[in-house]
A and B are shown apart, each in its own frame.
Chain A
Amino acid sequence: MDERPSILELVGVTKQFGGLTAVDHIDLKVREGEFFTIVGPSGSGKTTLLRMLAGMETPTTGDILLRDRVVNELPANRRPTCMVFQSLALFPHKSVGENIEFPLKMRGVARDKRKARALELLDLLRLPQSYYARNVTQCSGGERQRVALARAFAFDPEILFFDEPLSAIDYKLRKTLEKELKDIHKESGKTFMYITHSLEEAMVMSDRIGVMRAGRLVQVGTPEEIYTQPRDRFVSEFMGEVNVIEVRKGANGHAVGVELPGDFVLPGGAVPFETAHLVVRPESLRFLAGEGEAENHLRGTVYNEYALGSRIQYQVRVGEKVFIVERLRQQAYQGGLDQEVLIGWDAKDSVLVTD
């Protein structure tokens, strides 16, 4: 697929704090110019991993290679990488311009050259040049974000690390900034490595995603792969609301429900198993007029409905189990609250995961 050389390579990287293993034998190659995102719940070790890559922690065992050179012990100020912090870590006593110029000043670049570069970067990040003299504490959340990014660019790093920089920003602005960040990535051609707890955010921006859990990389792949072929139940549930049906092996390649009565057609290429979980996304489930409309079906009662704008979501109870069904607003539907309905899906829209 993508044959660009790898800029960053992790070989069995492990970090222990006392008896606790925060990062557990991670192997990974990040390609030059890639937007790579690590996703995981809080406590999964993703921040520790990033801090090791940026040079703020050293791995207990394993190696970090930057362009084939081992950099385990190299301190942050001597690594050609730069990090955008969750808190942004803007210098509160310096103006926007002084913040952006900071890395240049550290290198002893002359004052007028520094200023010229800072103004260029303000342009690149779509901030007015008049912001040069403004105090950072007077900037809004989105502006501060851009200043932090400009400062990192001024450093001219080979890799930019991002530690959930958008997590404290409100939903609407976050959506804008996600797209903007992807545009900036494209324009700059630099390697970005991003961490977040939101797979949704990762999907929007990344070329590839690594899902982390309890210090380990569970799955690495393109957003498409992670979405359509989750490796296990954890990855599939991490993606958002999904319906999970516990099944065991049935006759002629079908599966039999454990908590639910029924016989389910499985997606093609399913691995052999004894017990497993069948994952069906809400948007793959639909209301049926008759049993012939889909390969698999269940009968239940509509318990509640939620308007989500362009889509409407339903809670459907099948026995003791609750299913989430989504339909587009314009699609036809003849159910109603507390009415009995038939829901179903085609085998190709489901994923079988063995934990």
Chain B
Amino acid sequence: MAATAGASRNKRLIWLWTGIMVVFLYLPVACGLLASLNQGRYFTFPIRRWSTRWWERTLDSIEISILIQTSITIALIVTAISVVLAFCGALAFARYNWRGRTLFQRLVLLPIFFPQTVLGLALLLWFNMLGLPLSWQTAVFAHLVWIVPIVTLVISIQVYSFDPALEEAALDLGASRWQVMTEVTLPVLWPGIFSGALFAFLLSWGNFPLSLYTTGADSTVPEYLYAKMVAGYTPGVPTLGTISTAGAALVLLGGYAIVVLARRARSGR
């Protein structure tokens, strides 16, 4: 990068373009927030009368608190299970050399490279054939099929930068396999596992295509929103949408804060 006038102008353009991209990504979120503050039932802009009554109504609604509870329950269970499965999967993906590893890697990628709508419908058929009644539990399973591979990739990136000699040194110094895992492997891979968990929670929280076909009579927040968008729009729709977005943002920021604090605590010692 020559430190010349041309190069610094290019850098400014890149910053500018990235700024535009960020605005592009968040503009619809902002529109949702605006619409939720509109007093009337139908959205017109500029907003004539502002009001928080749709927020009050949404927050007071028992139906919506049940929706949120269902979504959180699914996301928490998905997170717990997928972290364990994906941790093992990442070790097989990136840590050990074994025959069939390349095939395993391709297999793990398949569900990610697969349209979720089709996957959801396929699972619907499959549950039907097995005679399983659809409920939020079947949705947990559906989420896992798609989320575990993604979390595996996230953790794998950390595993790739993990020096296997560390484990060997610990074994050599007299640690048992279990001690190696708790004293060396897990602490070193912790950041990857943590961000994997964040991914799992957030992807499950926001998922729509898989939930749509697999929750049966239960409903998640994104499903409810979709139903209301198609028929029965009120400003309650963007309100709940904004709440869902804000919830995800809180989880992400909280996670980021934990990472930063943990890093600081470690280097401070």
Residues of A within 8 A of B (CB): 55-58, 73, 75-77
B110 CB–A CB distance under 8 Å: no
Number of A-B contacts (CB under 8 A): 15
CB distance from A329 to the nearest CB of B (A): 40
Could you name 15 residue pairs across A and B whose Cβ atoms are closer than 8 Å?
Answer: A55-B2, A56-B1, A56-B2, A56-B3, A57-B3, A58-B3, A58-B4, A73-B4, A73-B5, A75-B2, A75-B4, A75-B6, A75-B7, A76-B2, A77-B2
CB distance from B229 to the nearest CB of A (A): 48
Q: Complex: how many Å from CA A76 to CA B5?
A: 13
Contacts of B3 in A (CB 8 A): 56-58
CB distance from B7 to the nearest CB of A (A): 8
Contacts of A76 in B (CB 8 A): 2
- By secondary structure, the A interface counts as loop
Minimum CB distance partner of A58 in chain B: B3
Contacts of B2 in A (CB 8 A): 55-56, 75-77
Q: Complex: how many Å from CA A56 to CA B2?
A: 5
Contacts of A77 in B (CB 8 A): 2
Contacts of A58 in B (CB 8 A): 3-4
Which residues from 1 to 37 on chain B have a C-beta closer than 8 Å to any C-beta of chain A?
1-7
Query: Other CB < 8 Å A-B pairs besides A56-B3, A58-B4, A76-B2, 12 of them?
Result: A55-B2, A56-B1, A56-B2, A57-B3, A58-B3, A73-B4, A73-B5, A75-B2, A75-B4, A75-B6, A75-B7, A77-B2
CB distance from B6 to the nearest CB of A (A): 8
Q: Complex: how many Å from CA A300 to CA B134?
A: 91
Contacts of A73 in B (CB 8 A): 4-5
Which residues from 103 to 138 on chain B have a C-beta closer than 8 Å to any C-beta of chain A?
none
Minimum CB distance partner of B6 in chain A: A75
Minimum CB distance partner of B5 in chain A: A73
Q: Complex: how many Å from CA A207 to CA B2?
A: 30
CB distance from B234 to the nearest CB of A (A): 55
Closest CB pairs A-B (n = 5): A75-B2, A75-B4, A58-B3, A76-B2, A57-B3
CB distance from B243 to the nearest CB of A (A): 44
CB distance from A56 to the nearest CB of B (A): 6
Contacts of A56 in B (CB 8 A): 1-3
Minimum CB distance partner of A73 in chain B: B4
CB distance from A26 to the nearest CB of B (A): 18
Q: Complex: how many Å from CA A58 to CA B6?
A: 13
CB distance from B3 to the nearest CB of A (A): 5
CB distance from A48 to the nearest CB of B (A): 12
Q: Complex: how many Å from CA A77 to CA B2?
A: 9
Q: Complex: how many Å from CA A76 to CA B1?
A: 9
CB distance from A23 to the nearest CB of B (A): 14
Minimum CB distance partner of B2 in chain A: A75
Minimum CB distance partner of B7 in chain A: A75
CB distance from B194 to the nearest CB of A (A): 33
Q: Complex: how many Å from CA A73 to CA B5?
A: 9
Q: Complex: how many Å from CA A55 to CA B7?
A: 13
Q: Complex: how many Å from CA A75 to CA B8?
A: 12
Contacts of B1 in A (CB 8 A): 56
Q: Complex: how many Å from CA A76 to CA B3?
A: 10
Indicate with 1 or 0, residue by residue over B156-181, a CB within 8 angstroms of chain A CB atoms: 00000000000000000000000000
Q: Complex: how many Å from CA A171 to CA B6?
A: 42
Minimum CB distance partner of B1 in chain A: A56
Q: Complex: how many Å from CA A173 to CA B4?
A: 38
Minimum CB distance partner of A52 in chain B: B3
CB distance from B141 to the nearest CB of A (A): 44
CB distance from A82 to the nearest CB of B (A): 14
Q: Complex: how many Å from CA A306 to CA B17?
A: 64
Contacts of B7 in A (CB 8 A): 75
CB distance from B131 to the nearest CB of A (A): 55
Contacts of B6 in A (CB 8 A): 75
Contacts of B5 in A (CB 8 A): 73
Contacts of A55 in B (CB 8 A): 2
Minimum CB distance partner of A56 in chain B: B2
Indicate with 1 or 0, residue by residue over B236-269, a CB within 8 angstroms of chain A CB atoms: 0000000000000000000000000000000000
CB distance from B1 to the nearest CB of A (A): 7
Q: Complex: how many Å from CA A133 to CA B4?
A: 36
Q: Complex: how many Å from CA A57 to CA B7?
A: 12
Q: Complex: how many Å from CA A57 to CA B3?
A: 6
